[in-house]
Amino acid sequence: MRCRTFAVAVLAAAARDTAAAEGSFGGFQGPSLRGSALNQTSVAALSSLSPSGALVAPYSLSKRFDFSQPPEAEFDIEVHSDEFLTHSCSNYTNDGRTVRTENNKLHLRVDSLCEGGGCMNSGRVMSKESFKYGLFTFSAKVPKCNHVWPALWLLPQDVNGEGNYGRWPCSGEIDVLETVHDQSFGTFNLVAGYGSSGGCWPNAEMQCNKCQPEYCTSTTMDWRDDKDRYFVEETNCDAEHPSWEEHLFVLNWEENELTTWIDPILSYDAAGRLVSVEPKRHADGTRTLPSWRSYLRQSTPKWLAVEDFMSKCFPEGAGQDAPFDDGFKIVLNIAVGGYGGAPCTWGSSTCSTTCGKAVGSELILSDISVWNKVI
């Protein structure tokens, strides 16, 4: 989703960083040429998916989050504001109302306005356990409208995205779902980056500074096209607290490839192993957005853009798929406003006026499970 200061927010800033991150920097050849050199036959040979987006492989259940216990059993409940992160109206608290478990479900809630009306008390959690590779399933009812910005995502170690390669964005971010306001779609994004002398090439040089204090962001999100989007559900904003129906969001993360599906068909064998993921087919066949998206490292310029940084600054520690070769934790939250073009931001009276009806919005999860590939 987002971490550290993302000046305008990823939905608007991606275009600027995208163009900069794809060139050469610090005297190194631009990695975009390597990514674009692959033809469709080469890409198909490298991918673990069929051309239709199906995954066929055995996975055994590694962890199912226990929502019968208080949320603190599985998650660290974060307490901080979004003022210097995404500038949303959200003030993340641990008061028993913004994050709770009830009837074997996990609830995150935009619970109330802050005193003065310049922010909203909301929920954000990070899993205690870290994961590296695997298949992740999220059964979630996602709030919509009123300028909410809910997300299901993964981040290394802590709120600063601190990992083996430094702070965010150097150590990466995986966004399974981001959606804002009345959008009918979700976005699936990868975020990486490299340390710099201040900004992106050609205006800055690469530096081995672990993204402190300066960096360049390289993200697959680009507001100019829809290549990161997948259709979820038409949004109806007429309800008091609008939301999508419960949907199944699935992430498969393996070396060199990450894929997300919405409401796929999952098949199991007699031993209870998950053996296939089949993409959902749109009933009317007229949707312009698909029900799945995938990023293969060798054909994703934004991922390849950090390759030289990793090989120069971490010659013995970085795998070829860095930064996505490290342990990540699951993060869930509801931001309000703060995204590019949002009518409300941290500290503004618009948090309580324009976006005030977001109070009462809930992100509800009935299941989070993690599966490991059987080798």
Question: Percent of the chain scored above 90 by pLDDT?
Answer: 82
Is 4 within the bounds of a domain? no
Helix H or strand E segment including 41: helix 40-46
Residue 297 is classified by DSSP as G
Is 1 within the bounds of a domain? no
The answer, yes or no, to whether residue 192 has pLDDT greater than 90, is: yes
Which pLDDT score is estimated for 15?
A: 34
Is 2 within the bounds of a domain? no
How does pLDDT run across 298-323, given as a tens digit for each residue?
999 999 999 999 999 999 999 999 99
The answer, yes or no, to whether residue 35 has pLDDT greater than 60, is: no
For the chain, the straight-line distance linking the first and the last C-alpha, in angstroms and rounded, comes to 31
Confidence grade of residue 374 (pLDDT, cut at 50, 70, 90):
very high
Which pLDDT score is estimated for 39?
A: 52
Q: Is 275 exposed, middle or buried (0-12, 13-18, 19+ CB in 10 A)?
A: middle
Q: Which residue has the tokens 């809630």?
A: 109
Q: What is the mean pLDDT of the chain?
A: 89
CA angle 225, 229, 230 (to 5 degrees): 145
Q: Tell me if 232 sits within 8 A of 148, measured CB to CB.
A: no
For residue 59, what are the domain limits? Answer: 10-373
Question: Percent of the chain scored above 70 by pLDDT?
Answer: 87
Q: Is 304 exposed, middle or buried (0-12, 13-18, 19+ CB in 10 A)?
A: buried
Copy the structure tokens of residue 374.
């059987």
Q: Is 237 exposed, middle or buried (0-12, 13-18, 19+ CB in 10 A)?
A: exposed
128: left (phi over 0), alpha (psi -120 to 50) or beta: alpha
Q: Tell me if 206 sits within 8 A of 194, measured CB to CB.
A: yes
How does pLDDT run across 84-117, given as a tens digit for each residue?
999 999 999 999 999 999 999 999 999 999 999 9
Is 325 within the bounds of a domain? yes
Is 328 within the bounds of a domain? yes
How far apart CA 32 and CA 11 sit, in angstroms, is 22
Is 3 within the bounds of a domain? no
Which pLDDT score is estimated for 338?
A: 96
Mean pLDDT across the stretch 130-135? 98
What are residue 275's phi and psi, to 5 degrees? -120, -15
Mean pLDDT across the stretch 280-290? 77
How far apart CA 277 and CA 252 sit, in angstroms, is 10
CATH number at residue 175: 2.60.120.200
Confidence grade of residue 7 (pLDDT, cut at 50, 70, 90):
very low
- Helices (DSSP H) in 247-342: which residue ranges? 301-304, 307-313
Pick the closest to residue 126 from 331, 328, 326 (CA basis): 331
Which pTM value belongs to this model? 0.90
How far apart CA 152 and CA 354 sit, in angstroms, is 25
Domain count, the chain: 1
What are residue 269's phi and psi, to 5 degrees? -95, 180
Helix H or strand E segment including 215: strand 215-219
